[in-house]
Amino acid sequence: QVQLVESGGGLVQPGGSLRLSCAASGSIYSINSTGWYRQVPGKEREVVAAITPTRSTTYADFVKGRFTISRDIAKNTLYLQMNSLKPEDTAAYYCNLNVKTYSDPMGSDYWGQGTQVTVSS
């Protein structure tokens, strides 16, 4: 089994920064695609950023130039550095990892528990 633990959310003023982390543990063979999503009540979950095993990154237009996704392969950890935060960035943020394990060589998607980010003065 694979467990994902997110951390780093909280309350921040507009213009501030936060760094989210998503640590994976378990019988991990490899981590494939990874990404961060966010969701506000009443709306669908939307992709924020994604990074491939070769470190190719993509970003939603609404975070380009402000957010940076990265991963530490040795630590099985995914990060999201969020700068110049705006009130409209307020949402629950979720990490998503496609993980191969020794018992699941094809890989499966796993979600973090979510961490709340609130941007308000």
Per-residue pLDDT of 34-75, as tens digits, reads 999 999 999 999 999 999 999 999 999 999 999 999 999 899
CB neighbours of residue 12 within 10 Å: 18
Label residue 1 by pLDDT band (50, 70, 90).
confident
For residue 36, what pLDDT is reported? 98
pLDDT cut 90: percent of the chain above it: 93
The answer on pLDDT for 33 being more than 90 is no
Nearest to 80 by CA among 110, 107, 112: 112
For residue 119, what pLDDT is reported? 98
Here the tokens at position 47 are 């992709």
Judged on CB neighbours under 10 Å (0-12, 13-18, 19+), 8 is: middle
